[in-house]
Amino acid sequence: MTTVTLTNAAERTPFLPVPNRVAFTIPEKIPLIGGLDIMWYGILLTLGIVVAFFVVYYKAPSRKIVKDKVLDYALWIVPCGAIGARLYYVVFEWDVYKDDLLSILNFREGGLAIHGALIGGFAAGILCLIKWKQKVLDWVDLTILGIVIAQAIGRWGNYFNSEAHGTATDLPWAIYCDGEFVHPTFLYESIWCFLLFLFLMWFDKKKAKYRGQIVCLYAILYSVERFFVENLRTDSLWIGKFRQAQVISVVLIICGIIGLVLINKNKEKLVIERPEKKTDQQ
C-alpha cells in the first residue's frame, strides 16, 4: 500500500469525517456534573450493552430461560466484563500506567480489550449460573448473541476516540487519523460482527440443535476475522514477538473446532430443549 502523507492528504476527502470525541457537554448550571464532557465512546459502549441485554432477554424463552433472570445475570457479567476488559489492557500496557495508577480508572480515554471482557464476564456469569443451577451452555449461547451485536456497535467508539485504526493506505474507504489516511479497522470488525450476529441469530433459530454450537461458531468465525484484521492494526498488544490477539484467535479457533467435535460426540446430552409451539385449536 502507498503511504498517504500530509501533502496529498489535503487533496482528499476522508471516507468518514474526522470525529469529535465529545458528544455533548453538560450545562455548567447543573450541580456537581456541570461542564462534564460526555464522550461518544461511553455512549456507544452503553448502547451496545443495552442492545445486547435486550437480545438475550428476547431470546431467553427460546431456551426455556425465565426472562426475569436475565437482569440478575446482566448485573453480574456487565461490570465484571468491564473490569476484565480494562485489567487485561492494563496488564499488556503496564508501562503506560505504572507511574499513574489512578489513570487505570479512566475508562473515558478508551483502553478496553474484548478478550479481557470475555474472560471477566464469562467467569462471573458461569459462577452465577452454577450457583443458580442453570444450564450453562444455553446461557452462554444466548450471551454470545448479545456480545457480537454489542461488538458491532461498540467498535464505533474506537472511531470517535481515533483509536484501534490500521496502517496507512490509499484505499478509497480510508479514514484520516494522526496526519495520514489509514485502514478503518474498527469498521472492518463492526461490519463483520454485524453480519456474524445476523448469521448466528438465523442459525440459532433454524439450525441449532445442540447446546454450545453458537459459542463454538462464534469462537471460530470471530477469531478468523480478528486474526487478519489485527495484522493491520498499529496499537496491538504483544506477547513477546507475537500479537496477543492473533495468538488468542488461533487458540479460540482450535477450541471452537474441538468444541464442535465434542458436541457431535455427546449430542444426545446436549439437545436444546425448545418450548412447544402453540397450535390453533379447532
Domain residue limits, the chain: 6-269
Q: Does residue 280 register a pLDDT over 60? A: no
Q: Check residue 36 and give left, alpha or beta (phi > 0: left; psi -120 to 50: alpha).
A: beta
Q: Does residue 241 register a pLDDT over 60? A: yes
Predicted local distance difference test score (pLDDT) of residue 5: 45
C-beta separation of 194 from 149 below 8 A: yes
C-beta separation of 70 from 57 below 8 A: yes
d(CA 160, CA 190): 14
Q: Does residue 61 register a pLDDT over 80? A: yes
Predicted local distance difference test score (pLDDT) of residue 155: 95
Which range, of 6-10, 34-38, 192-196, averages the lowest pLDDT? 6-10
Predicted local distance difference test score (pLDDT) of residue 111: 78
Q: How confident is the model at residue 73 (pLDDT cuts 50, 70, 90)?
A: very high
Q: How confident is the model at residue 7 (pLDDT cuts 50, 70, 90)?
A: very low
Average pLDDT of span 235-242? 89
Q: What percent of the chain has pLDDT over 70?
A: 93
pTM greater than 0.95 (yes/no): no
In the block, cell 508501562 appears at: 95
Predicted local distance difference test score (pLDDT) of residue 172: 93
Q: Does residue 264 register a pLDDT over 80? A: yes
The residue with greater pLDDT, 78 or 32, is 78
Q: Does residue 11 register a pLDDT over 70? A: no
In the block, cell 464469562 appears at: 122
The 8-class DSSP code of residue 99 comes to T
The overall average pLDDT reported for the chain is 90
- φ, ψ for residue 168 (rounded to 5)? -65, 145
Q: How far from chain centre, in Å, is Cα 257?
A: 21
Q: Does residue 223 register a pLDDT over 50? A: yes
Which amino acid is it at 208? A
Which amino acid is it at 4? V
In the block, cell 500479537 appears at: 243
Q: Does residue 103 register a pLDDT over 90? A: no
Q: Does residue 282 register a pLDDT over 50? A: no
Predicted local distance difference test score (pLDDT) of residue 278: 64
| Residue of 4, 54, 46, 61 whose CA lies nearest to 175 | 4
**Crossing angle for the helix pair 114-131 and 244-265, nearest 10 degrees?**
40
d(CA 179, CA 12): 12
Which range, of 8-12, 170-174, 245-249, averages the lowest pLDDT? 8-12
Which range, of 8-12, 18-22, 200-204, 230-234, averages the lowest pLDDT? 8-12
CA-to-CA separations, 131 to 124, 140, 144, 195, in angstroms, rounded: 11, 15, 20, 34
Predicted local distance difference test score (pLDDT) of residue 3: 42
Predicted local distance difference test score (pLDDT) of residue 279: 56
Q: How confident is the model at residue 8 (pLDDT cuts 50, 70, 90)?
A: low
